[in-house]
Amino acid sequence: MSILFSFLSGVMGVVFIVVAAVVVLSCTIAWYEYANREPQLVEDRFSGGRLAFALGLIASETLCLAASVLVHPLGWTAPREKMVRAEEQTPVIFLHGLFHNRACWLWLKYRLRRRGVNALYTLNLPPWKDVETLTERVAKKVDELRHATGVDKVSLVGHSMGGIIARNYLQLRGGADKVAMCVLLGTPNAGSKLAPFALSPLGKLVLPGSPFLHRLAEAPLPPETRVTSIYSRHDNIILPFESARLEGSRNEELAGMGHTALLYRSRVFETLLNALRKEEP
């Protein structure tokens, strides 16, 4: 038992060190970008308030990302998902971001169930697959739920790359008539300057100005689907943060949280819950 405990402690320690390094590096690059855009940020970068805010942001993002990494193995197997009848609730399908899996939604799903939202479903979107293959997985899941529950439409919630896949399904692959609502969390709708660091071919899709993003931007948002984009102005992955805004959608700007923290923070949860409870257009 002591050997197992020592092993697990060692693994957790390594995870926290690696995650902290990634978060610090991404926050440093983001600060560099914004400081060049707004030189006044340099003048008070060592003020007590600025330092406290930066350290809090880094600590929060590190804890949230470490939690997602540690629960990652739980997403390797498919969970038992209870089918809720059509007259009870609209099914909600969660689409995770790059290098995550369905396990990253555990906390958010738990909180939603405590508030009475029970028709919650997930699937894995492997980063080594291309966007069209992943979109086909989403389309298959949507049709499975529609047939199993008798609903006409479902709701989609996508974090980061998951939001891009949701948009591809809605705008370019004809899924709009099957989706009542789509909520995007920290989605690089106009790309991210950190995309070149992605270790997956999917990263090329969200390079600012990429042909794929151009096609998405040219395709109008479907009027029959209510689309909400929730994002943080202190996102350490979507650079600049304005890239998460989506013209034609309902944009909800938050602050004081990083990219992965969007999956855990209460303000995001309440905003998401309100969006899901809105009447369909």
> Which of 146-160, 223-237, 265-279 shows the lowest per-residue confidence on average (mean pLDDT)?
265-279
Q: Is the pLDDT assigned to residue 83 strictly greater than 80?
A: no
Q: Is the same domain home to 49 and 125? A: no
Contacts made by residues 208-216, CB under 8 angstroms, sequence distance 24+: 208/243, 212/131, 213/189, 215/172, 216/164, 216/167, 216/168, 216/171, 216/172, 216/189
Q: Band the pLDDT of 278: cuts 50, 70, 90.
A: confident
Using the 3D structure, point to which of 55, 70, 85 is the last residue of a domain: 70
In a domain, 178, yes or no: yes
Distance of CA 3 to the CA centre of its chain: 36
Give residue 77's pLDDT: 85
What is the residue range of 21's domain? Answer: 2-70
The two tokens of residue 62 are 């590190």
Instruction: Write phi, then psi, for 184 (nearest 5 degrees).
Output: -105, 130
Number of domains in the chain: 2
Give residue 138's pLDDT: 98
Q: Is the same domain home to 267 and 216? A: yes
* pLDDT, tens digit (0-9, with 9 covering 90-100), for 180-223: 999 999 999 999 999 998 888 899 999 999 999 999 999 999 99
Q: Is the pLDDT assigned to residue 8 strictly greater than 80?
A: no
Q: Is the same domain home to 90 and 188? A: yes
Using the 3D structure, point to which of 13, 40, 70 is the last residue of a domain: 70
Q: Is the pLDDT assigned to residue 63 strictly greater than 90?
A: yes
Q: What is the DSSP letter of 170?
A: I
Q: Mean pLDDT, to the nearest integer, of 145-169?
A: 95
Q: Is the same domain home to 135 and 240? A: yes
Using the 3D structure, point to which of 39, 70, 101 is the last residue of a domain: 70
In a domain, 231, yes or no: yes
Q: Is the same domain home to 118 and 239? A: yes
Give residue 281's pLDDT: 38
In a domain, 281, yes or no: no
The two tokens of residue 190 are 């106009």
Q: Is the same domain home to 106 and 31? A: no
Whichever domain contains 82, its CATH number is: 3.40.50.1820
Give residue 172's pLDDT: 96
Q: Is the same domain home to 196 and 66? A: no
Q: Is the same domain home to 25 and 119? A: no
Give the predicted TM-score (pTM) of the model.
0.93
Q: Is the same domain home to 22 and 116? A: no
Nearest to 259 by CA among 155, 188, 191, 164: 188
Please give the single-letter amino acid code of residue 68.
S
- CB count within 10 Å of CB 204 equals 14
